[in-house]
Amino acid sequence: MAQNVTINGVAYSNVPSVEIPLTSDLSQTAKFYDTSDATLSAGGQMLNGYTAYSNGTKYTGSITSKAAETYTPTTSDQTISSGVYLSGAQTVKGDANLVASNILSGVSIFGVAGSLTLPTISQDGVTKVLSIS
């Protein structure tokens, strides 16, 4: 959003920035931008350590960054917090052995229902289920 500016009695409309010479040979200048339409606020809304200006106020980012990481399934949940910028690939390891035929019937692991049944033997009219050791 540009501003209307008057310099030395001359009015200029919709000026997005003003550049002022700092040296007589114009080799160095200072440029000022209109930031009145910026949406950045005190909440940071940018990565931790970065700064920006909005409507004349300087803000410092507060969003943490999470580098690439590999997660191996365990017996408890592993959570990536909300509001974190993922700056690298997050990988959840898989296992080709996670198939129904490798999981005991009646047991479910990571949503895979088992179909493995233990073998039984009969001897002298007595049926026994073999166990897993």
pLDDT for 92-117, tens place per residue? 999 999 999 999 999 999 999 999 99
Provide the 10 A C-beta neighbour count for residue 64. 13
pTM: 0.57
Domain boundaries, the chain: 3-60, 66-129
Q: What is the pLDDT of residue 59?
A: 87
Q: What is the pLDDT of residue 77?
A: 93
Look at residue 1 and tell me whether its pLDDT is greater than 60.
no
Residues 13 and 21: their CA atoms lie apart, in Å, by 21
Residues 35 and 18: their CA atoms lie apart, in Å, by 12
Here the tokens at position 87 are 């700056």
Residues 89 and 70: their CA atoms lie apart, in Å, by 8
Higher pLDDT, 49 or 40: 49
pLDDT for 7-30, tens place per residue? 899 998 888 888 889 999 989 999
Q: Are 31 and 52 in contact (CB under 8 A)?
A: no
Here the tokens at position 99 are 């198939």
Residues 83 and 30: their CA atoms lie apart, in Å, by 36
Query: What's the chain's average pLDDT?
Result: 87
Averaged pLDDT, 45-54 = 86
Q: Are 12 and 6 in contact (CB under 8 A)?
A: yes
Q: What is the pLDDT of residue 100?
A: 96
